[in-house]
Amino acid sequence: MRMDMSRFLTHALLLLMVVLWTLPTVGLLVSSIRDKDQLSVTGWWSALTTTERTDQGRTDAADAQVQENGQYVISGDLFDGDAAGRQIQFFGVTNSTYNDNAAGSTITLKNGSNLTVNADGGYRWVSAEPFETTRGQRVLYIAETPPRFTLENYAEVLESEGIGRSFINSFTVTIPATIIPILIAAFAAYALAWMQFPGRSVLVAVVVGLLVVPLQMSLIPILRLYNGVMPLFGAESKSYLGIWLAHTGFGLPLAIYLLRNYMASLPKEIMESARMDGASHFNIFTTMVLPLSFPALASFAIFQFLWVWNDLLVATVFLGNNDRQLVLTGRLRELIGSRGDNWEILTSGAFISIIVPLVVFFALQRYFVRGLLAGSVKGG
């Protein structure tokens, strides 16, 4: 009995943790596909329920009137044909009376005319005298609004908020910055793992030390260097080339560390028998070690991809703020500042920026975990 109790508790506690950890992201995702008017007034957890909302519409003006049986009639639809499932509950023409009259009833306005509004938004405004109004009558109503899901928010951020362009920019930064360090690191890692030379252990210690150097230390000197050197080659100081090289440099310690540990764990006998057979280091590296190290290469590639894609610091310092260079993280930061209250824009924009890493993460989780276990000396 006591066993069952503790087992039940474990289930419940872990479930609570999982809910706590996923709920914020679920909220973001649900909100990003909600109608933006609904999103701004009700919580995302009520996204599936019908809500009562107060809104207003306007009847047609005098030029739409027709004569029927000696009366003048203006009729039409308060929703303008776009009811989207809305059902009017109550209506009225003044702020104080709009929740008094049930849909379907007829009210008499100040000028003696009669207005009927039906639940479906259709109205009929009847008067004995000809209408002269040029703007139509404002009608307030309380309507039951069914939930509405849409991709409009995504269309908006992709086009008018520049997220689409930044998506391309992020890929432009990430792909070269992921691939270039791998080769450079692989050769260095092999030398540190399998070649004998003076200073080897010092170099390994240096790499381990560099793993934790805060990027903050590198930014200003490199920025000054770029400002000084890039113009000499006729390039702008804030360029893609600059950030590719910077990410290469910043990613190398982890790459070398991971790959060296992995290569050093490869069986010694294979190496030695290959050496006996007269194979050079270069041949051993390209034909044996590199293919065997694929899991470690994949681990690092995922790491570097996620880290570069998610980076804001390096991109802010080494890339410009213009449309051609602003990456997703930078764009999102800008939107937080400029569109802080427009949750339909922030939620869909944020989701676009996290969907790529999430896909990479879930598809390649095995390699990612392996890399984490091998390289857990480094932070971030």
Partner 1 sequence: MIAQILSATQTVIIGVAACILYFWGTNWVLDRLMGGATASVANESRRAAIRPWVFLAPALFFLSLYLVYPVFATLWLSFFDAGGDEFVGFSNFLWALGDPNFQQSVFNNLLWLIVVPSFATAFGLVIAVMADKLWWGNIAKSLIFMPMAISFIGASVIWKFVYDYRSGDSEQIGILNAIVQGMGFEPQVWIQIPFWNNFFLMAILVWIQTGFAMVILSAALRGIPEETLEAARIDGANDVQIFFNIMIPQIFPTILVVWTTITILVLKVFDIVLAMTNGQWDTQVLANLMFDWMVRGVDFGRSSTIALVIMIAVLPIMIWNIRQANKEQGTR
Q: Which of residues 163-192 bind partner 1 (CB under 8 A)?
A: 165, 168-169, 171-172, 175-176, 179-181, 183-185, 187-188, 190-192
Segment contacting partner 1 (CB under 8 A): 54-62, 105-113, 126-134, 347-355?
347-355
Instruction: Please tell me whether residue 264 binds partner 1 under the rule CB under 8 A.
Output: yes
Stretch of 66-74, 75-83, 112-120, 364-372 lying at the interface with partner 1 (CB under 8 A): 364-372
- Based on the shown chain and the rule CB under 8 A, indicate whether residue 212 belongs to the binding site for partner 1: yes
Please give the Cα distance from 304 to 247 (Å, whole number): 9
Interacting span for partner 1 (CB under 8 A) from 65-73, 91-99, 109-117, 341-349: 341-349
Tell me: does residue 217 bind partner 1 (CB under 8 A). Answer: yes
Tokens 């949750």 locate to: 343
- Cα 255 to Cα 188, 263, 264, 297, 372, distances in angstroms: 10, 12, 14, 8, 12
Rule CB under 8 A: which of 112-141 touch partner 1? none
Q: Does 41 bind partner 1 (CB under 8 A)?
A: yes
Smaller CB distance to partner 1: residue 125 or 194? 194
Contacting residue, 293, 329, 342, 344, with partner 1 by CB under 8 A:
329
11 binds partner 1 (CB under 8 A): yes
Q: Which of residues 72-91 bind partner 1 (CB under 8 A)?
A: none
Q: Which of 93, 252, 289, 319 binds partner 1 (CB under 8 A)?
A: 252
Got the DSSP string for 1-52?
A: -HHHHHHHHHHHHHHHHHHHHHHHHHHHHHHHTB-HHHHTTS-GGGTTS-EE
Q: What are phi and psi of 126, to 5 degrees?
A: -120, 135
Give dist(CA 180, CA 10) in Å, integer.
46
Determine, following the binding rule CB under 8 A, whether residue 210 of this chain makes contact with partner 1.
yes
Q: How far is CA 335 from the centre of its chain?
A: 12
CA distance 255 to 303: 9
Of residues 86 and 331, the one with the C-beta less far from partner 1? 331
353 binds partner 1 (CB under 8 A): yes
Residue 229, interface with partner 1 (CB under 8 A)? no
Instruction: Examine residue 17 and tell whether it contacts partner 1 (CB under 8 A).
Output: yes
Q: Which of 48, 151, 220, 270 binds partner 1 (CB under 8 A)?
A: 220
Q: Is 299 in the site for partner 1 (CB under 8 A)?
A: no
CA distance 325 to 305: 18
User: Among 91, 226, 300, 343, which residue interacts with partner 1 (rule: CB under 8 A)?
Assistant: 343
Of 103 and 356, which has the nearer Cβ to partner 1? 356
User: What DSSP letter does each residue of 331-347 carry, written as one string?
Assistant: HHHHHHHHSTT-HHHHH
> Is-contact 27 43, C-beta < 8 A?
no
Q: How many residues does the chain have?
A: 380
Assess 203 for contact with partner 1 (CB under 8 A): yes
Nearer CB in complex with partner 1: 87/218: 218
Does 13 engage in binding with partner 1 (CB under 8 A)? yes
Asked if 246 is part of the footprint of partner 1 (rule: CB under 8 A), the reply reads yes
Work out which of 90, 250, 300, 318 binds partner 1, going by CB under 8 A: 250
CA dihedral defined by 41, 46, 49, 50, rounded to 10 degrees? Answer: -10
Q: Could you tell me which residues come within 8 angstroms of residue 291 by beta carbon, excluding any fewer than 6 positions away?
A: none
- Going from the C-alpha of 316 to that of each of 76, 168, 313, the distances in angstroms are 54, 16, 5
Of the candidate spans 12-20, 58-66, 110-118, 119-127, the one that interacts with partner 1 by CB under 8 A turns out to be: 12-20
Size of interface with partner 1, in residues (CB under 8 A) = 118
Cβ proximity to partner 1: between 90 and 351 the closer is: 351
Question: Own/partner pairs for 208-213, CB < 8 Å, 24+ apart?
Answer: 208/253, 208/257, 208/377, 210/253, 211/253, 211/254, 211/257, 211/377, 211/378, 212/377, 212/378, 212/379, 213/253
With tokens 């086009």, the residue in question is: 159
